Structure 1
């Protein structure tokens, strides 16, 4: 949702961050309307893999996160670790903690990769799960003292109080996002080379409405070399 971080007023779905326009004086990133689409119902052509029932009940995912915790992401390019700091964005950090504990980040595509800007992910590969979380919007956190510097992890959104599950990692210092309501909640502490190696060939081609409605079936059919998060786990040692 780093496109312009504002969404169509007709929808409360978070918008993705957008890179600056290729002009001498590029304006601040504008919200993408791609995310501003209604949740759709899975079709008969989509995967019928069993779903963890807890993933369909976002309203129950209310556990408070530790003040600091680490998460290991295993991806198709290797592993990286982030450290979350709850004080930076308490509401966002709590959501992230609960998503990880529920196993949300399993087979999750990096569907938006913009060099020198961000890599974005967080739409679940199962349309039923994706639909359940699209309305589980969070209240905004206060502006954080932590800037959107290179390697920070931040929730995407499409307007006030619209964060759900989509997030992005900053490829560079994007401090212009700080005053736009995008407080980071974690930072990559190891494996930055893995993030840099994520396949960029598809850029912003994957259509978010279709990712929402068809899930990984669409991504794997149309973008066969896309990279994925295999799993994310709380680091206990």
Structure 2
């Protein structure tokens, strides 16, 4: 397993522009099925979520999209043939959402190409950080990571997988060593990695 892959930092650095947060949002329940459209610097793609695969993950993803968490976020780690990772922002927002724990769930459907799952660093650490599988990653179904087994998927890219596959991947894992900078000063992080692609907007589709 590649170093740093699912590390999730709950750091104390305060960002100058944290995203809005209301604890009541974390009580919202998602539909059984729903779609999300991502408008990115590379184009548009859609994800269809099936709540029965991982209900708690589907709920949290729904909450994040509904309340505009992903708007103007970076695909901060794109590892060719492995994953495209996003969802980390300023530390205040991460800590706010992370303060409401998402219970762990078993893997029902495997990490095949195009599926989406939450990253995590241990028990009940699924919070805001996600990855889309860029290939079939079967080992992620059963691997034990800090006493938690596997990474449950809860949806799949149904349109625009070519867009996801085209996300800039030239930095690979190089960004992972400087995530503290992204949490504290996103503009400086972007200066270091100017070719990273951006999520302009993520929207629930009716």
TM-score range, shorter chain: 0.7 to 0.9
CA contact (8 A) 2:75 2:197 kept: yes
CA contact (8 A) 1:72 1:233 kept: yes
Counterpart secondary structure, 2:46: strand
> 2:13 aligned with 1:40, yes or no?
yes
Q: Which runs of 5+ in 2 are unaligned?
A: 144-149
Counterpart secondary structure, 2:183: helix
Counterpart Cα distance in 1 of 2:87 and 2:65: 11
Counterpart Cα distance in 1 of 2:23 and 2:182: 20
Counterpart Cα distance in 2 of 1:227 and 1:96: 20
> 2:37 aligned with 1:72, yes or no?
yes
- Between structures 1 and 2, the one with greater strand share: 2
Counterpart secondary structure, 1:100: helix
Larger Rg over CA atoms = 1
> 2:202 aligned with 1:229, yes or no?
no
Q: Which runs of 5+ in 1 are unaligned?
A: 5-14, 18-31
| Equivalent residue pairs, number | 198
Q: How does 1:1-237 map to 2 (within 5 A)?
A: 3=2, 16-17=5-6, 32=7, 35-36=8-9, 38-42=11-15, 46=16, 48=17, 55-58=20-23, 60-124=25-89, 126-144=90-108, 146-180=109-143, 181-206=150-175, 207-214=178-185, 216-236=186-206
CA contact (8 A) 1:75 1:230 kept: yes
Alpha-carbon deviations, 1:122-177, whole Å to 9, x = none? 012x4432342343331101331x11000000000001111110000001111111
Worse-superposed segment, 128-137 or 176-185: 128-137
CA contact (8 A) 2:25 2:63 kept: no
Aligned to 2:147: none
Highest relative contact order (Cα 8 Å, sep 6+), 1 or 2? 2
RMSD over aligned Cα atoms: 2.0
Task: Name the CA shift for 1:175/1:226 in 2 (closer, same or farther; >3 Å).
Answer: same
